[in-house]
Amino acid sequence: MHSTEPARLTLSNITKRYPGVVANRSVSLTVRPGEAHAVLGENGAGKSTLMKIIYGTVKPDEGEIHYNGQAVHIRNPQQARALGISMVFQHFSLFDTLSVAENVWLGLHQSLRLAEVTSRISSKATEYGLDIDPFRPVHTLSVGEMQRVEIIRALLTEPKLLILDEPTSVLTPQAVVKLFVVLKKLVSEGCSLLYISHKLHEIRELCTACTVLRSGEVTGVCDPREESNASLSRLMIGAEPPALLHQERTPGPVLFEAHNLSLAKEDQFGVDLHNIRLQVRAGEVVGIAGVSGNGQRELLYALSGEDTRADPSAVQLEGQPVGQLGPDARRQVGLHFVPEERLGRGAVPSLSLAHNMLLTRVEAMTSIGWIHTKVLKAQAQKVIDQFNVKANGPLAAAQSLSGGNLQKFIVGREIDAKPKVLLVSQPTWGVDVGAAAQIRGELLALRDAGCAVLVVSEELDELFEICDRMYVMANGKLSPSIQRKDATVVQIGEWMSGLWEVHAQA
Q: pLDDT tens digit string along 67-104?
A: 999 999 999 998 999 999 999 877 677 898 999 999 99
Confidence check: pLDDT of 357 > 60 = yes
Over residues 19-45, mean pLDDT: 92
Q: What is the pLDDT of residues 112-149, one digit of tens each?
A: 899 999 999 999 888 777 778 999 999 888 777 888 88
Residue 51 in this model has a pLDDT that exceeds 50? yes
State the angle between helix axes of 114-128 and 143-155 in degrees (0 to 180), rounded to the nearest 10. 110
Contact 289, 471 (CB under 8 A): yes
Partners of residue 196 on adjacent β-strands = 39, 165
Query: What average pLDDT does range 384-410 have in this prediction?
Result: 91
Confidence band, pLDDT 50/70/90 cuts, at residue 58: very high
Asked if residue 190 has pLDDT above 90, the reply is yes
Residue type, 280: V
Lowest mean pLDDT among 123-127, 166-170, 228-232, 461-465: 166-170
Split at pLDDT 50, 70, 90, the class of 170 is low
Instruction: Read off the pLDDT of residues 234-283 as tens digits, 9 standing for 90 and up.
Output: 888 777 767 777 788 899 999 999 999 999 998 887 899 999 999 999 99
161 and 31 Cβ atoms separated by less than 8 Å: yes
CA-closest candidate to residue 195, choices 181, 180, 185, 174: 180
In the predicted structure, residue 109 carries a pLDDT above the cut 90: no
Q: Report the C-alpha gap between 287 and 157 in whole angstroms.
A: 39
- Residue 330, classed as helix, strand or coil, is helix
| Sequence letter at residue 166 | E
Which letter does DSSP use for residue 112 in this model? S
* Same fold for the pair 9-237 and 254-502: yes
C-alpha distances (whole Å) from 444 to each of 88, 244, 334, 346, 483 are 33, 9, 18, 21, 16
Residues 6+ apart with CB under 8 A from 319: none
Considering the chain, what is the average pLDDT of its residues?
90
* pLDDT tens string 311-347: 999 999 999 999 999 999 999 999 999 998 888 889 9
Strand partners, 276: 261
**% of residues, the chain, pLDDT over 90:** 63
pLDDT of residue 246: 74
pLDDT (0 to 100) of residue 505: 44
Residues 290, 473: contact at Cβ < 8 Å? yes
Burial 294-311 (b: 16+ CB within 10 A, else e): bbbbbbbbbbbbbbbebe
**pTM higher than 0.85 for the full model?**
no
Start-to-end CA distance of the chain, whole Å, equals: 58
Q: Report angle CA 471, 476, 482 to the nearest 5 degrees.
A: 10
DSSP structure class, residue 345: I
Inter-helix orientation angle 114-128/173-188, to 10°: 100
Contact (CB, 8 A) for 451 and 422: yes
Question: What is the rounded CA–CA span in Å between residue 436 and residue 407?
Answer: 10
> How many alpha carbons fall within 13 Å on the CB side of residue 239?
6
Instruction: For residue 275, give every residue at least 6 positions away whose Cβ sits within 8 Å of its Cβ, in sequence order, or none.
Output: 260, 261, 262, 477
CB 89 within 8 A of CB 51: no
Instruction: For 1-21, write each residue's pLDDT tens digit.
Output: 445 789 999 999 999 998 888
**pLDDT band at residue 172 using 50, 70 and 90 as cut-offs:** low
In angstroms, rounded to a whole number, what is the distance separating the alpha carbons of residues 276 and 448? Answer: 27
Fold for 254-502, please state it. Rossmann fold (3.40.50)
Q: In the structure, what pLDDT confidence band is assigned to residue 506 with cuts at 50, 70 and 90?
A: very low
CATH topology of domain 9-237: Rossmann fold (3.40.50)
Residue 1: CB atoms within 10 A of its CB come to: 9
Sheet arrangement for strand 209-214: 85-88, 161-165, 192-196, 36-40, 209-214, 217-222
pLDDT of residue 230: 83
Q: Residue 503 — very low, low, confident or very high, per pLDDT cuts 50/70/90?
A: low
- φ, ψ for residue 87, nearest 5 deg: -140, 140
Average pLDDT over residues 457-466: 89
Cα torsion for 87, 91, 93, 97, to the nearest 10°? Answer: 150
What is the structure's pLDDT at 93?
Answer: 78
Instruction: Write down the domain spans for the chain.
Output: 9-237, 254-502
Q: How far apart are CA 6 and CA 31, in angstroms?
A: 10
Residue 1 CA to residue 28 CA, distance in Å, equals 23
pLDDT at 137: 93
Query: What pLDDT does residue 1 have?
Result: 47
pLDDT recorded at residue 415: 93
SS3 per residue for 394-455: CCCEHHHCCHHHHHHHHHHHHHHCCCCEEEEECCCCCCCHHHHHHHHHHHHHHHHCCCEEEE
